[in-house]
Structure 1
Amino acid sequence: MTVAPVATTTDVLLKDLLDTTPAFVDTAFLRLADALWQSGEATGEALPAVPALVAALQEADEVRKGYLALLLGLLAETEHVAGGGPVTTSVRAGIEHYLPLLTGARPGGPLQLAALYLLSHLGEERDVILAAAAGADLTPDDRTRLERCLQPLDPENVVLGRVWPSPYEWQLGDEELAFDQGWIASLTEQQLAATWSSDTRSVLAYTGAKALWALRNGAPTVVRDTSVHADVRPGEPPAPRIEEFSRFADVLRCPDCRSTLSFEESGATCTGCASAYPLPSGVLDLSVGAGDHDDSDVLQNAAGLRGIGFHYENVLRPAFLRVMGQNWGGTITPVDEDAYLTEQLAAVDGPVLDVAAGAGRWTAVVAEAAGDGGVLALDLIAPMLAGLRARLPEIATLRASALALPVADGSLAGVNCWNALQALPDPKAAIDEIGRALRPGGRFTLLTFRWGSDAVYRYFQGSHAFPGSPDGIKLFETEQIRTWLNEAGLSPVAESGPGTFVIITAEKRNR
């Protein structure tokens, strides 16, 4: 191969990556990446550097080959939205050197994972890549991620919103397929293309984050939920019982005017503005339009299927923690989360609100920890709440916004917001509301995520599109959260978080 001249700075950085000691390979990779790639964009040095990167694959050891493959994938991804370009064309020219990385590397090892990330960008080489992959030892989830990223969009045969973390982990039956066909058929050509592209980018980000973590730490591990709360498949929601809500009459308030509510079998009525709040499927709907379904939000459509809560808790949530918390090694397990909540909320005396409760996996833990004080569960996604209601029929379940909590000032002894702050449209406003709702000494338990320490991993974190964050997830800096807590009258009393987890317990100060 004829290697084009490379800018002097890039040449030095590439040589450093190839020659440095193993302890400094990751640092050298980040320096080289910064010279060629910044925040998802190729720099002016990127295009002429590609042939040298490809040539370096032939002399590098296994770990450095993995980093070079990852970097070539990042450069190809800079043209993902445009559907290819000169950088991708140059990367593609090295295909003969990439295939042995897939077929000859240790199955599930860092090099194979990096090769998967690189090859997932080369759709024009789809046939040759899939032929090589057929003889490679790949897990079903890795294989289907590769196939999905290489697949061209066919408007007549398309799956949207059900490909992350891998198509393999969505076993769609007739009901699901019919549900999807209904809302997909209503999309415009532009919506279809945009959602397909967003889905692809989210799958690429998962593949890239997995490969980068593996290059730094070794092969990822799979964490299973072994707690008593795992694998609980909800049945049909029970008949509505207004008593579940009337017992919290001194807590619940009209979300519109903050007056008290009166309760009857059909739901609740505001004693001030006379707004009526129904009780569909036993869920008191206090959303007052905050959660009205937007038919143009295709990600929300994809999340709307009945039973999504069980799939979320057992497949999607663990995958989300792997990417956002860098939990690929299973440092944090569901049992660890249960133990933390139990310890932090055991002494709470009074009602506890579980904000963005989802399908209720951690609501059950909060309810056990809080004891006789009682628990209310709140979310905006109706199918999630239906699952929670079926799973925990004794819990007062509310459909309402976390940005306008339908509770009185200082009425709560505890609030839990577990793996949800990053999904809210205004996280600071949510923390302000929690501060308003807590009584002095009341406890707030929080699990969310901070940005990774390097630009490449941050890019993979931010490239995931989910309901509520169609343009990519928005995470935090820990100091930012501390500032919001302080402004809401809350003081941290416990703080931890391996990887990029942020786990905090805060108490409401006496004013």
Structure 2
Amino acid sequence: MSVATITPAVADLLDSFENAAPDRLDAEFQRLTGALWSEGAPTALAESTVPALIALLDRAGDDRRGLLAVLLGLLAETDIQDGGGEVAAAVREGLDRYLDLLRGGDSRSPLTLALLYLLSHFPADRDRILAAAGEAALDEEDLTRLERTLRLLDPADPDLGRCWPAPSVWSLDETERKFDQRWIRELTPEQVRANWDYDTQTVLAYTGAKAYWAARNGTPAPSKARPIDDRLRTSPSPVAADIFRRHAGALRCPGCGGAFELRDTGARCDRCATSYPIAHGILDLSAGVRDTADVADDVTADLLQKLAEMPSMGLYYESVLRPAFLRVAGSNWGDEVTWDDEDAYIAEHVRPVDGPVLDLAAGAGRWTEVLARTVGAERVIALDAGLPMLNVLRRRLADVPAVLGDALALPFADASLGAVQCWNALQAFPEDAERVIGEVGRCLRPGGTFTMMTFRFSDDPVERHFQESHHFPSRPEGMLLFDIGRIAEWLDGAGMTVQDLSGPGTFVFVTAVRR
């Protein structure tokens, strides 16, 4: 197809992009992209323009080549997902040129990162692409992402769920491998295929987001897994149920809202005659036993068994997954927001009145620990829906009781909590975010603070596409983030007054006070 087939309007856009002054480059790229790609699909102009984009790779400056490669990859990706193929086929016509540019590149180069995203769309050319990648100086993570996106599914031996942000970051022991094999064997062939495709799209989205940021801003900060504290690898010591008694006045039965009688083996609600087990400082409100005066030994044994055999997802989350997630969701590729920044925000803004201080969706406890330093461990109680996370939290914080429970129906009495923190978690239940914030408002005492960190969608449509294209196991539809105005409305509806609503990039930091 001839370059001459492009319309005069598109030719003008290409010329404006090629010759844009540095301070106009981003705006001209957005104009060009908007003409060729809209609402997640190539436009009618895309196929005829692709040859001109490929030709421009030869003469454009380095500050433009990376953007061109990202745009070509975006057109190929969304055309394939849209069920087309003509635009992707046109993009593939430049394969020889892409491979030439890749050879001799390295992971510090924005162009190389963009080429890795572009080339990830052509699994039929896997051997040629990996051979060229072997001649480049690529970081292990970048190389294994490329290998994974180009790999075809082996139905007899599917490798699911352990590839993001890169396959190379996962090092499983025998127990974890058996855990994976067990849940994968329970999937139907259709579920295996769906999970494989979600994994592929998620790795591709991370590759694209990294490349796009690099093409606009320069080399991202190095990806560094945070060291795992050795104390978090050990089994938690048995903890008496006494640590829950100081919060007995606030805790309520999730079934009927009745008050608990706290015993050594668990918590009992006399109103509905239901008991819940406690083991290693975790109160399991997901496993009630009706019509019993005490928790049955087999229920406690079941909770202990789960704690003993849980894989180390909680450790991976804190060390590897969370920093990678902040890069995508918060546009934090340059490490503009550090752990110290988050710690400082919590210490400055959490101001409890009387009552327990809840860490809602506490995860593995890294920011529960900051909360405990800020207000005192004796005041803090943690809640999360994930047992692997609480298992790690309990190793970190022996004096903080943990509840396995539901954020949509908090097991606390009205106006019983002195403060609530929900850090890097609201996006885990996006469709129910308003309900969660309403529950926080119900449980907070007047004057108590609600502090939160979450994320908003980027205003940039390309960056937003990569955010949305992350398909984590709990969100097969893709990642859903927030609009700041809606968050403010939800807080007001829950009886809270906003004191701070801010954040760099696509971070959202919130402090509100219960009226």
User: Shorter-chain TM-score category?
Assistant: over 0.9
Partner of 1:218: 218
Q: Residues 2 and 436 (structure 1 numbering): CA distance in 2 closer, same or farther, change over 3 Å?
A: same
- Distance in 1 (CA, whole Å) between partners of 2:156 and 2:259 is 52
* CA RMSD between the two structures: 2.1
Partner of 2:504: 498
Give the drift of 1:349. Answer: 4.5
- Distance in 1 (CA, whole Å) between partners of 2:192 and 2:82 is 16
Q: Secondary structure at the match of 2:363?
A: coil
Q: Taking structure 1 as the reference length, what is the TM-score of the superposition?
A: 0.92
Pairing of 1:15-26 with structure 2 (within 5 A): 15-26=15-26
Partner of 2:37: 37
Counterpart check, 1:388 vs 2:387: no
Pairing of 1:335-354 with structure 2 (within 5 A): 335-345=340-350, 349-354=354-359
Partner of 2:268: 269
- Structure 2: runs of 5+ lacking an equivalent: 289-308
Deviation string 1:426-448 (CA, Å, 9 cap, x unpaired) is 00000000000000000111000
Partner of 1:246: 245
Partner of 2:302: none
Give the drift of 1:305. Answer: 4.8
Q: Secondary structure at the match of 1:115?
A: helix
- Distance in 2 (CA, whole Å) between partners of 1:230 and 1:331 is 24
Q: Secondary structure at the match of 2:491?
A: helix
Q: Secondary structure at the match of 2:376?
A: helix
- Distance in 1 (CA, whole Å) between partners of 2:37 and 2:348 is 45
Q: Residues 253 and 281 (structure 1 numbering): CA distance in 2 closer, same or farther, change over 3 Å?
A: same
Q: Secondary structure at the match of 1:20?
A: coil
Q: Residues 429 and 187 (structure 1 numbering): CA distance in 2 closer, same or farther, change over 3 Å?
A: same
- Distance in 2 (CA, whole Å) between partners of 1:396 and 1:373 is 9
Q: Residues 143 and 231 (structure 1 numbering): CA distance in 2 closer, same or farther, change over 3 Å?
A: farther
Q: Secondary structure at the match of 2:479?
A: coil
Partner of 2:294: none
Give the drift of 1:345. Answer: 2.2
Give the drift of 1:328. Answer: 0.6
Partner of 1:451: 457
- Distance in 2 (CA, whole Å) between partners of 1:176 and 1:226 is 20
Counterpart check, 1:360 vs 2:365: yes
Partner of 2:133: 133
Partner of 2:297: none
Q: Given residue 498 of structure 2, which amino acid in structure 1 is its aligned partner?
A: P
Pairing of 1:55-70 with structure 2 (within 5 A): 55-70=55-70
Give the drift of 1:396. Answer: 0.9
8 Å contact from structure 1 (residues 225, 335) kept in 2: no
Partner of 2:324: 319
Partner of 1:287: 286
Counterpart check, 1:402 vs 2:375: no
Give the drift of 1:118. Answer: 0.3
Give the drift of 1:281. Answer: 4.2
Partner of 2:424: 419
1:468 aligned residue (467, 474, 492): 474
Q: Secondary structure at the match of 1:58?
A: helix
Q: Given residue 221 of structure 2, which amino acid in structure 1 is its aligned partner?
A: T
Deviation string 1:31-81 (CA, Å, 9 cap, x unpaired) is 111111123212111112111111111111112111111011001101444
How many residues end up aligned between the 2 structures?
494
- Distance in 1 (CA, whole Å) between partners of 2:231 and 2:47 is 52
Q: Secondary structure at the match of 1:156?
A: coil
8 Å contact from structure 2 (residues 449, 514) kept in 1: yes
Q: Residues 12 and 104 (structure 1 numbering): CA distance in 2 closer, same or farther, change over 3 Å?
A: farther
- Distance in 1 (CA, whole Å) between partners of 2:87 and 2:203 is 21
Partner of 2:154: 154
- Distance in 2 (CA, whole Å) between partners of 1:226 and 1:75 is 35
8 Å contact from structure 2 (residues 377, 399) kept in 1: no
After superposing the two structures, state which structure 1 stretch, 337-346 or 433-442, moved more: 337-346
- Distance in 2 (CA, whole Å) between partners of 1:508 and 1:373 is 22
- Structure 1: runs of 5+ lacking an equivalent: 290-303
Deviation string 1:447-491 (CA, Å, 9 cap, x unpaired) is 000111111100001111123322111101111111110111111
Partner of 1:437: 443
Counterpart check, 1:489 vs 2:469: no
Give the drift of 1:232. Answer: 5.3
- Distance in 1 (CA, whole Å) between partners of 2:230 and 2:110 is 31
After superposing the two structures, state which structure 1 stretch, 41-50 or 323-332, moved more: 41-50
- Distance in 2 (CA, whole Å) between partners of 1:152 and 1:222 is 29
Q: Secondary structure at the match of 2:74?
A: helix
- Distance in 2 (CA, whole Å) between partners of 1:132 and 1:64 is 22
- Distance in 1 (CA, whole Å) between partners of 2:245 and 2:32 is 62
Partner of 1:258: 257
Q: Secondary structure at the match of 1:57?
A: helix
Give the drift of 1:9. Answer: 2.7
- Distance in 2 (CA, whole Å) between partners of 1:319 and 1:232 is 23
Partner of 1:478: 484
Partner of 1:114: 114
8 Å contact from structure 2 (residues 278, 284) kept in 1: yes
Q: Residues 135 and 220 (structure 1 numbering): CA distance in 2 closer, same or farther, change over 3 Å?
A: same
Pairing of 1:183-194 with structure 2 (within 5 A): 183-194=183-194
Deviation string 1:164-210 (CA, Å, 9 cap, x unpaired) is 00001112232222221111122111111111111111111111111
8 Å contact from structure 1 (residues 235, 391) kept in 2: no
Q: Residues 231 and 337 (structure 1 numbering): CA distance in 2 closer, same or farther, change over 3 Å?
A: farther
Q: Residues 334 and 105 (structure 1 numbering): CA distance in 2 closer, same or farther, change over 3 Å?
A: same
Q: Residues 140 and 372 (structure 1 numbering): CA distance in 2 closer, same or farther, change over 3 Å?
A: closer
Q: Given residue 478 of structure 1, which amino acid in structure 2 is its aligned partner?
A: I
After superposing the two structures, state which structure 1 stretch, 23-32 or 317-326, moved more: 23-32
8 Å contact from structure 2 (residues 17, 25) kept in 1: yes
Q: Taking structure 2 as the reference length, what is the TM-score of the superposition?
A: 0.92
Q: Secondary structure at the match of 2:187?
A: coil
8 Å contact from structure 1 (residues 40, 77) kept in 2: no
Q: Residues 6 and 487 (structure 1 numbering): CA distance in 2 closer, same or farther, change over 3 Å?
A: same
Q: Secondary structure at the match of 1:484?
A: helix
Q: Residues 83 and 181 (structure 1 numbering): CA distance in 2 closer, same or farther, change over 3 Å?
A: farther
8 Å contact from structure 2 (residues 231, 395) kept in 1: no
8 Å contact from structure 1 (residues 310, 359) kept in 2: yes
Q: Given residue 101 of structure 2, which amino acid in structure 1 is its aligned partner?
A: L
Q: Residues 365 and 140 (structure 1 numbering): CA distance in 2 closer, same or farther, change over 3 Å?
A: same
Give the drift of 1:347. Answer: 5.8
Q: Secondary structure at the match of 1:417?
A: strand
- Distance in 2 (CA, whole Å) between partners of 1:370 and 1:316 is 28
Q: Given residue 371 of structure 2, which amino acid in structure 1 is its aligned partner?
A: V
